[in-house]
Each structure stands twice: as C-alpha cells, then as structure tokens.
C-alpha cells in the first residue's frame, strides 16, 4: 500500500511567495499542502489544527519572527519538522536554526528540485542542516559553546560514563559528517531500519530531540571529537 503524502504548512508574510510555493509543491504527489499562514498567530493555530509533518517558515516573518515561531511549533507539535527559508544565508541564522531544532535551512532562491529534495530528506527523518553544521568547524564550535553555556541538557546530564553502546557512538561519529541513514547503513553493512532503530535509541538515551543535539551532546561529553580543521 502506498504511503500517505507528507503534509506541509507554508508560513510566509508574502502572499505571492506562498502561492508560488504552493503551486510548486503541488507537482509532487508525495506532498500535500494542508495550509498556509502569513503571521505567527495564524501559523501556530494552523499547526495545532492540522498537525503537519513539515512546516516551511520564513526567517523574516513579522515579530516574533520565524525562529521564535519555529520554537513555538516545535513545543506545540513535536512531530512537526521545521524547514527555515531565508533570503540570505549566514552563520548567525544557521546557528539560530539549529537552536530551534530546524531540520533544514534553505535559501528562498533555491532551485525547485533542490527544495523538493530537501523536503524529501526531512520527510524521511533526515536532517540536511547537519551537513552544513558539521562541515564548518566554526559553526560546530559555536553550537558546542552555546550548549555548554546554556546547559541545555539541564541537571540530568549523565556522568562521564557514556550510556551509549560502541555501535551507537560509531553511528554518531558518522552522523557528524552529515551522512543519511541510508549512507550509514551502507558504510556499516547493516539495514537502514537497524540504523533508524539505533538513532531512536540514541535520542531516547540522551533525552534530546534530534540528531544535531545528539552529536553536540556527545562532543560535549568527549565521546566523539570534532573533525580537524580543513
């Protein structure tokens, strides 16, 4: 039986941009746009009502802004994956996207096929933003420093003894390079479902929400190391 299309919510202040995006997404039978909104209040209401699989959010949304809205939706609809859309890429914006748990960070001027590819990855449970984060030593260090400073993981941070199995640590090291579940499975000679099971176990054991936070946590604890500077 065919899988159900991934449901999409579009959030952008510009009506014409939303209309264009809706038209573009309509060509892909794997996707269904279930709503759109031009401000944070309407977007949060739509997210609560529709419980979309993916929410496309413009960074430059009117106050409280796209990043704050992303954080609100992540708290209210934990199953929704966030893709941030930006007019211009910057390390600072990417850092904010990571902090709110976005799965991807994409330019609005991206080619349609590339956006559809990113949506497909996110729909499959992947985090394209990891590739950008861990390919840049400066951003990876900024993320690590922020997690340390804010004590994101709270007082329940485990002891120096890693609760992860050797295989789980190995998978985290590969995730740090931006590899997908399929690529990890190929590299380790195991099934993709086994990789997904390991990732689920890692997130549960570390009490984090996504792969990026898991990698940052592991770096912080000294279980894995940042890649050398290029």
- pTM (whole model) above 0.85: no
| CA–CA gap between residue 229 and residue 14 (Å, rounded) | 40
pLDDT in tens, 141-197: 666 555 444 434 443 333 333 467 778 888 888 888 778 889 999 999 999 999 999
Structural domains in the chain plus CATH codes = 6-125 (3.40.50.2300), 154-221 (1.10.10.10)
Give whichever of 88-97, 160-169, 206-215 has the largest mean pLDDT.
Answer: 88-97
- State the DSSP string of 74-108: HHH-TT-EEEEEESS--HHHHHHHHHTT-SEEEET
Average pLDDT over residues 70-74: 91
Report the number of secondary-structure helices (H) and strands (E) in the chain: 11, 5
Look up residue 152 and give its DSSP letter: T
Q: Per the structure block, which two tokens stand in for 104?
A: 């991807």
Rounded CA-CA distance 117/131 in Å is 14
Q: Which of 98, 122, 126 is nearest to 183 (CA)?
A: 126
């Amino acid at each position: 039986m065919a899988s159900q299309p991934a449901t999409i919510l579009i959030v952008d202040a510009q009506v014409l941009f939303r209309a264009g995006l809706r038209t573009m997404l309509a060509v892909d039978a794997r996707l269904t746009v279930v709503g759109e909104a031009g401000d944070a209040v309407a977007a949060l209401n739509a997210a609560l009502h529709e419980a979309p699989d993916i929410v496309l959010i413009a960074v430059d949304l009117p106050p409280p802004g796209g990043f704050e809205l992303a954080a609100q939706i992540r708290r209210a609809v934990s199953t929704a994956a966030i893709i941030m859309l930006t007019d211009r890429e910057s390390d600072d914006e990417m850092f904010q996207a990571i902090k709110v748990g976005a799965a991807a960070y994409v330019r609005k001027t991206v080619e349609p096929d590339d956006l559809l590819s990113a949506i497909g990855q996110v729909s499959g449970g992947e985090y394209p933003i990891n590739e950008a984060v861990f390919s840049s030593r400066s951003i990876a260090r900024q993320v690590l420093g922020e997690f340390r400073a804010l004590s994101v993981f709270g007082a329940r941070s485990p002891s120096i003894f890693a609760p992860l199995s050797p295989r789980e640590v190995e998978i985290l090291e590969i995730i740090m390079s931006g590899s997908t579940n399929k690529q990890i499975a190929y590299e380790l000679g195991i099934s993709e479902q086994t990789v997904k099971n390991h990732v689920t176990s890692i997130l549960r054991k570390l009490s984090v929400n996504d792969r990026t936070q898991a990698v940052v946590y592991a770096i912080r604890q000294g279980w894995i190391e940042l890649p050398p500077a290029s």
